[in-house]
């Protein structure tokens, strides 16, 4: 008679290889998607003492025009570079079938003021009458809140 084969001993340790594979895939997905979640181009915003929270500017479909330090303009949603002369047509297209017609502008603190006024003039040409300026609040402990 042939000898009966014995079963290998039971392994009581957890196999972490599949878990590591899943975690690496999730890490890669988050690394790729995270830069796409920002609205507008990152600029060093102007700092103000009396800011007003604009909750509508945080919505996914908010129309945001970012002006960089070197004078380039970007239109979100989409973060597409746009020339100031092309703004009226593109903003009109984005505003169709929208209840909130506000356009938000965020500019670098060192951007030339002429570039900002050029964007505002082109927005007025498009019929935009509601503008929001996105700034950053100054955290000054010595200054009392005025209750605004």
Query: What pLDDT shows up at residue 147?
Result: 47
What pLDDT is recorded for position 1?
60
Question: Whole-prediction pTM value?
Answer: 0.65
Q: How many domains does the chain have?
A: 1
C-alpha closest to that of 101 among 60, 56, 66, 134: 56
Residue 140 clears pLDDT 70, i.e. is over it: no
The answer on pLDDT for 22 being more than 90 is yes
Classify residue 145: in a domain, yes or no.
Answer: no
> Which one has a higher pLDDT value, 146 or 74?
74
117: domain range? 47-137
Share of the chain above pLDDT 70, in %: 88
Predicted pLDDT of residue 38: 63
Q: Looking at the domain assignment, is residue 122 inside a domain?
A: yes
131 in a structural domain? yes
Tell me, yes or no, whether 6 lies in a domain: no
Determine the pLDDT at residue 47.
85
* CA–CA dist 107, 45 (Å, integer): 6
For residues 52-77, average pLDDT: 85
Classify 90 as helix, strand or coil: helix
Among the listed residues 44, 46, 41, 85, the one whose alpha carbon sits nearest the alpha carbon of residue 66: 41
Residue 100 — pLDDT band, cuts 50, 70, 90?
Answer: confident
The tokens describing 93, both together, are: 């297209």
CATH number, domain containing residue 52: 3.30.420.270
Instruction: Examine residue 2 and state whether it is found in any structural domain, yes or no.
Output: no
pLDDT confidence of residue 148: 44
- Please name the helix (run of DSSP H) or strand (run of DSSP E) that holds residue 27, with its range, or none: helix 17-33
143 in any annotated domain: no
Lowest-pLDDT choice from 12-16, 48-52, 112-116:
48-52
At residue 37, does pLDDT exceed 70? no
Q: Which of 97, 69, 93, 67 is nearest to 81 (CA)?
A: 67
Q: Give the pLDDT mean for 35-56.
A: 76
Inside any domain, residue 99:
yes
Q: Is residue 5 part of a domain?
A: no
Q: Count Cβ atoms within 10 A of the Cβ of residue 40 and give its class: 0-12 exposed, 13-18 middle, 19 or more buried.
A: buried
């Amino acid at each position: 008679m042939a000898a009966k084969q014995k079963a290998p001993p039971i392994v009581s340790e957890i196999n972490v290889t599949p878990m590591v594979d899943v975690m690496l895939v999730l890490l890669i997905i988050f690394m790729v998607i995270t830069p796409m979640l920002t609205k507008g181009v990152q600029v060093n915003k102007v700092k103000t003492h009396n800011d007003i929270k604009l909750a509508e500017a945080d919505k996914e479909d908010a129309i945001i025009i970012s002006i960089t330090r070197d004078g380039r303009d970007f239109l979100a949603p989409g973060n597409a570079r746009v020339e100031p002369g092309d703004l009226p047509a593109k903003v009109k297209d984005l505003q169709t079938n929208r209840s909130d017609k506000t356009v938000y502008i965020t500019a670098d603190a060192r951007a030339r003021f002429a570039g900002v006024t050029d964007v505002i003039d082109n927005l007025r040409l498009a019929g935009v009458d509601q503008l929001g300026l996105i700034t950053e609040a100054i955290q000054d402990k010595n200054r009392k809140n005025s209750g605004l």
